[in-house]
């Protein structure tokens, strides 16, 4: 499939300052589709950046379609880490006549990239593009986990038109359904209806309040490690750090916390696509938010090039196995610890007839704290939530 038909060149401008003596910035290594450059050759490419100038589904944030090229201008100026970058910037997906046409183009491109083992990095645009990202996995027939770093759940109402505040309900209700689990990181209770919180519990989805996450940011790593798709709404970062959003709030993550979460996403062997949404240059004082998003993408790329290739489903020979018996539980809980990174997983019993369907989900990323809980004969919440989905 020739995906170049969906793209138009990016407009980055001159990213190298006149006194720059070293051609060692990311912009010097990224194969970019610009007016003066042809569409990149995708051979050996590992990461593909694609901009989506689409905000017709945005709520209270029109203008975020202008963000991709500005974010690029800051990303290209950042120095490369200690790795050999194999990154292509495909330019910007052409906006369709209808927003549904843009969704189709986005899902088609992402599907093709994932099939070729290339990780798409989507620079939006509004967050309803997450729905288009999800459709790519449906086309591949792949059951996935979605993680949203967001101050709310974006459930909307059942009858509501698809937009940045209702895309999740469209994913949940979509048939056939390829969503195994959804997790929200950093929701703020005053932005969320209590009925929505109860619904998340009934669906056995994982939700984590902002204060809970910030109190122990390291516990975010196993949550993110379980994701196939990550969607980041920039409005979950406090306004003082990221003013470039029509829905910015005084409270939220600090910029460095967002960067840390993005590095966790990068080092996850399981994650195959990520999107950064809702940056709006119209509200962005000194282009501070665009600069921050560029740094977040830098941390994701740095994490990607530090992956350990230890995803347990592929290889268990380099893992240490622990068995824990928990009172009143018929099954013992089996834990695995990586000899490379000291990261943990736990195995959830899966019915034989569902092993093929859920082969990517019954080994659940966890932390040492989960192992300690099991040793105290307490069933880890992560284990129990997945167990209920399997039965």
Residue 344 has pLDDT above 90, yes or no: yes
User: Does 189 reside within a domain?
Assistant: yes
Task: Work out the pLDDT band at 17, boundaries 50, 70, 90.
Answer: very low
Task: Work out the pLDDT band at 23, boundaries 50, 70, 90.
Answer: confident
Do 385 and 286 fall into the same domain? no
Do 125 and 271 fall into the same domain? yes
Do 261 and 288 fall into the same domain? yes
Do 225 and 345 fall into the same domain? no
Residue 18 has pLDDT above 60, yes or no: no
pLDDT value, residue 12? 83
Do 102 and 225 fall into the same domain? yes
Task: Work out the pLDDT band at 20, boundaries 50, 70, 90.
Answer: low
Q: What is the tally of structural domains in the chain?
A: 2
Do 283 and 378 fall into the same domain? no
Of 213-227, 319-333, 369-383, the poorest mean pLDDT is in 319-333
Do 81 and 166 fall into the same domain? yes
User: Does 50 reside within a domain?
Assistant: yes
Q: What is the mean pLDDT of the chain?
A: 93
pLDDT tens profile 305-342: 999 988 866 667 789 999 999 988 888 999 999 998 99
pLDDT value, residue 16? 52
What pTM was estimated for this model as a whole? 0.95
User: Does 61 reside within a domain?
Assistant: yes
**SS3 track for the chain:** CCHHHHEECECCCCCCCCCCCCCCEHHHHCEECECCCCCCCCCCCCEEEEEECCCCCCCCCCCHHHHHHHHHHHHCCCECCCCCCCEEEEEEECCCCCHHHHHHHHHHHHHHHHHCCCEEEEECCCCCHHHHHHHHHHHHCCCEEEEEECCCCCCCCCCCCCCCCCHHHHHHHCCCCCEEEEEEEEECHHHCCHHHHHHHHHCCCEEEEHHHHHHCHHHHHHHHHCCCEEEEEHHHECCCCCCCCCCCCCCCECHHHHHHHHHHHHHCCCCCEEEEECCCHHHCHHHHHHHHHHHHHHHHHHHHCCCCCCCCCCCCCCEEEEEECCCCCCCCEEEEEECCCCCEEEECCCCHHHCCCCCCCCEEEECHHHHHHHHCCCCCHHHHHHHHHHC
Which span out of 24-38, 214-228, 340-354 was modeled with the highest average pLDDT?
214-228
pLDDT, average across residues 263-292: 97
pLDDT value, residue 314? 65
Please report, for the domain that includes residue 116, its CATH number.
Answer: 3.40.800.10
Do 210 and 323 fall into the same domain? no
Residue 391 has pLDDT above 70, yes or no: yes
User: Does 144 reside within a domain?
Assistant: yes
Give the residue with greater pLDDT, 24 vs 270: 270
User: Does 311 reside within a domain?
Assistant: no
Residue 158 has pLDDT above 80, yes or no: no
Boundaries of domain holding 356: 319-390
Mark which of 274, 304, 334 sits at the end of a domain.
304
Task: Work out the pLDDT band at 357, boundaries 50, 70, 90.
Answer: confident
pLDDT, average across residues 163-170: 95
């Amino acid at each position: 499939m020739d995906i170049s038909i969906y793209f138009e060149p990016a407009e980055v401008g001159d990213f190298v300052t006149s006194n720059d003596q070293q051609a060692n910035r990311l912009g010097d290594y990224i194969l970019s589709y610009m007016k003066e450059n042809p569409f990149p050759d995708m051979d050996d490419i590992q990461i593909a950046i694609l901009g989506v100038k689409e905000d017709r589904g945005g709520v209270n944030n029109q203008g975020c379609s202008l963000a991709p090229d500005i974010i690029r201008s800051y990303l290209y100026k950042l120095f490369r880490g200690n790795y050999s970058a194999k990154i292509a910037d495909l330019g910007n997906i052409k906006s369709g006549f209808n927003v549904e046409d843009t969704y189709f183009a986005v899902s088609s491109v992402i599907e093709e990239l994932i099939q070729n083992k290339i990780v798409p990095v989507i620079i939006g645009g509004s967050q309803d593009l997450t729905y288009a990202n999800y459709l790519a996995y449906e086309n591949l027939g792949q059951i996935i986990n979605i993680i949203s770093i967001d101050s709310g759940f974006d459930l909307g109402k059942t009858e509501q038109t698809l937009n940045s505040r209702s895309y999740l309900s469209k994913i949940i209700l979509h048939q056939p359904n390829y969503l195994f689990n959804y997790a929200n990181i950093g929701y703020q209770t005053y932005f969320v209806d209590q009925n929505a919180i109860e619904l998340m519990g009934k669906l056995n989805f994982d939700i984590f309040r902002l204060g809970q996450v910030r109190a122990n940011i390291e516990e975010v790593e196993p949550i993110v490690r379980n994701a196939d798709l990550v969607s980041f709404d920039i409005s979950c970062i406090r306004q003082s750090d990221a003013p470039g959003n029509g829905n910015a709030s005084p409270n939220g993550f600090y910029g460095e916390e967002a960067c840390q979460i993005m590095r966790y996403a990068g080092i996850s062997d399981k994650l195959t696509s990520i999107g950064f949404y809702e940056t709006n240059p119209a509200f962005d004082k000194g282009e501070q938010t665009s600069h921050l998003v560029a740094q977040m993408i830098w941390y994701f790329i740095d994490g990607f090039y530090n992956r350990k290739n230890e995803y347990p489903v592929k290889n268990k020979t380099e893992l240490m196995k622990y068995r824990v018996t928990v009172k009143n539980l018929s099954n013992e809980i089996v834990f695995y610890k990586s000899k490379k990174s000291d990261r943990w997983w736990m195995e959830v019993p899966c019915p034989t007839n569902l092993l093929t369907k859920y082969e990517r989900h019954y080994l659940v990323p966890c932390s040492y704290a989960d192992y300690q809980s099991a040793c105290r004969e307490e069933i880890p919440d992560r284990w129990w939530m997945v167990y209920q989905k399997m039965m």
